[in-house]
Chains A and B, each alone.
Chain A
Amino acid sequence: MKLQDLLSQLFTEGSNIVTTDWLVTGDATVAGKPISILGTTNHTFIGVREVVVLSEKFLDIVERFPGRPILMLVDNNGQRMALDEELLVLPEYIANLLKAEQVARLAGCKLIAIVYGNTVAGGFIGFGMGADRVVSVPGGETSVMKLEAISRVTKMPLEKLQALAAKVSVFAPGSENFYKMGGIYEMWTDQFPNRLQHLVGSDISKDLRVQLGHERGGREAAQAIIEDVLQS
């Protein structure tokens, strides 16, 4: 959904948000308390320059408002795919962003990500999936790689991939698939303020994704594997 629609539906108690061509920053009031907002828009690509800005904002928020929840608004078309990005070691940049998210978590900031646009592969790993809870709203689309590209890389016929995608959640794009695999905690369609208020007020410190993937039938092997390793 459009950023402006999301913001107006999400924040009924007031907000102060600044948007550039790709960056969203600000704060809002949820259940009478302030939360910090950091997001991206216009399907931006996540490259070294975007990461530097996002990391800096994260660290700034942690220093100024430790303990305050951070809402991450997610819309990207993935990592910037280019030789010069990789030349500068893009994975190190994305890892810095993930560490900034972790340092926020260590400072007591709850991290909640809302997928409202696209979110793809390395972009989603760096900005979105590092949150304590990831939710989607209508129009939020998650993917690793489009079926056409999977077909080109794996040399599997597209028709076969399309037929499989209709049956299983494990590989094809779509928030519904990520939900079934446990990667999306909830898919919101209405009552955004109430739902956000509830998440902000809950203990969301434990990573539940393996368990949810199991309960929803998307990942039936992972939970038993982890339990067996813990008990080995």
Chain B
Amino acid sequence: MNPNSHISYLEATARRRIAGLLDPGTFHEFIPPTLKRVSPHLGLFDAPVAFDDGAIIGDGKLDGKDVYVFAQEGKFRGGSLGEVHSAKITGLLRRAAQRKPAAVIGLFDSGGVRLEEANAGEIGATEIIRGIFDAQKAGVPVIGLLGGGTGCFGGAGITSCCCDALIASEEGRLSVSGPEVIETVMGVEAFDSRDRALVWRTTGGKNRFLFGTVAELVDDHIPAFRSAVIGAMTAQKPLRVADLKQDLERLKKRIEAYGECSDATQIWQKMGLDAENVAAMSSQELKAEKEHIVKI
């Protein structure tokens, strides 16, 4: 394989992402699709099922270290959180708290709670969050990746922000209410979800990186994600009141500085960036620019 060739994370399946992220041939899947543990609920809605319910979990090696991985398959029902899907991820995190791998890596690609299993999915999201906290308490860092085609919304979006570090490409979108949901519930004047540029600059990885929500911005290239995860595996924030207070100060300042902004371009301008050019910048260029701006 030519090391310079571009391997899109965005376009890859969840399984392909895992294979490219870990040391070659080391992934071992728990509850593989051959066991056919499908959703017990989707049939009620005459909806198709998947043998992995859109969640792939297992262990493997990364840079020679033992890691656990979960990956959401955005191409199956938007990577949504159903009962089985959530339970697989919760199980993996509880196992991590017991057996202490070097890290848990979460490949988020999810529209959020699966509406056909809304209650199971919402409770499931909070069980995953508790699982992340319990793994962190056991000293295991949880690293989240955002770069899939579905994005990371709703309960999945909140969950991802509970990770120790987030790594994203500019294609990785993150928010609670997705543009389509805001448009459906609040009207097209509140958020025009067909305006792709608006969606990207509001929820995309660049905005999230400039605010510091995302620790590392990478190009849409699986080996780039791999290098960034290896670099982040030591990053571990112990949950302490003092750190959370500091974090909260940062979040308060963000509201004070940008709370009146209605578009990301206004924020970028205020930060001192050439706002019109942010969309065209590579991740390297934006990282270099970020060094010179007001950091909030």
A contact set with B: CB distance below 8 Å: 48-49, 51-52, 55-56, 59, 62-63, 79, 81-96, 98-100, 102-103, 105-107, 121-122, 124-126, 129-130, 142, 144-145, 149-150, 152-154, 156, 164, 168-172, 177-178, 181-183, 207, 209-210, 213, 218-223, 225-230, 232
Task: Beyond the given A48-B259, A89-B208, A221-B84, please list 6 additional residue pairs across the A-B interface where CB-CB is below 8 A.
Answer: A48-B255, A49-B255, A84-B262, A88-B258, A93-B251, A230-B94
Alpha-carbon separation in the docked complex, A95 to B175 (Å):
12
Alpha-carbon separation in the docked complex, A220 to B84 (Å):
10
Q: A106-B239, A125-B155, A168-B44 are in contact. Are A221 and B122 (CB under 8 A)?
A: no
Alpha-carbon separation in the docked complex, A49 to B254 (Å):
11
Are B91 and A225 in contact, CB atoms less than 8 angstroms apart?
yes
Is B125 positioned at the interface, with any CB of A under 8 Å from its CB? Answer: yes
State how many angstroms separate the Cβ of A101 from the closest Cβ of chain B: 9
Are A125 and B241 in contact, CB atoms less than 8 angstroms apart?
no
Mostly, the A contact residues are helix
Are A92 and B251 in contact, CB atoms less than 8 angstroms apart?
yes
**Which of A81, A99, A105, A170 meets B181, CB within 8 Å?**
A81
Are B184 and A149 in contact, CB atoms less than 8 angstroms apart?
yes
Q: List, in ascending order, chain B residues with CB within 8 A of A209's CB.
A: 123, 127
Q: Mark B130-164, 1 if CB is under 8 A from A, else 0.
A: 10010001000000000000000011011011100
Alpha-carbon separation in the docked complex, A107 to B129 (Å):
18
Which interface residue of A106, A170, A172 has the most chain B CB atoms within 10 A? A170
Is B40 positioned at the interface, with any CB of A under 8 Å from its CB? Answer: yes
State how many angstroms separate the Cβ of A198 from the closest Cβ of chain B: 22
Kindly report which residue of chain A lies nearest to residue B32, judged by CB atoms: A232
Q: List, in ascending order, chain A residues with CB within 8 A of B116's CB.
A: 154, 170-171
Stretch of B12-20, B222-230, B242-250, B283-291 on the interface side: B242-250
Kindly report which residue of chain A lies nearest to residue B198, judged by CB atoms: A83
> How many residues belonging to B are interface residues under a CB distance threshold of 8 Å?
81
Alpha-carbon separation in the docked complex, A142 to B119 (Å):
9
Q: Mark B33-76, 1 if CB is under 8 A from A, else 0.
A: 00001011100110000000000010000000000000000000
Are B31 and A225 in contact, CB atoms less than 8 angstroms apart?
yes
Are A103 and B155 in contact, CB atoms less than 8 angstroms apart?
no
Are B252 and A89 in contact, CB atoms less than 8 angstroms apart?
no
Are A222 and B120 in contact, CB atoms less than 8 angstroms apart?
yes
A and B contact pairs by CB, cutoff 8 A, 18 listed: A49-B255, A52-B252, A56-B248, A62-B241, A89-B207, A89-B213, A91-B161, A125-B125, A130-B130, A150-B118, A154-B115, A154-B116, A156-B45, A181-B123, A183-B119, A222-B87, A225-B31, A232-B31
State how many angstroms separate the Cβ of B207 from the closest Cβ of chain A: 7
Alpha-carbon separation in the docked complex, A102 to B237 (Å):
13
**CB within 8 Å of A: which B86-118 residues:** 86-88, 90-92, 94-95, 98, 113, 115-118
Are A129 and B244 in contact, CB atoms less than 8 angstroms apart?
no
State how many angstroms separate the Cβ of A38 from the closest Cβ of chain B: 15
Alpha-carbon separation in the docked complex, A228 to B58 (Å):
12
Q: List, in ascending order, chain A residues with CB within 8 A of B267's CB.
A: 87
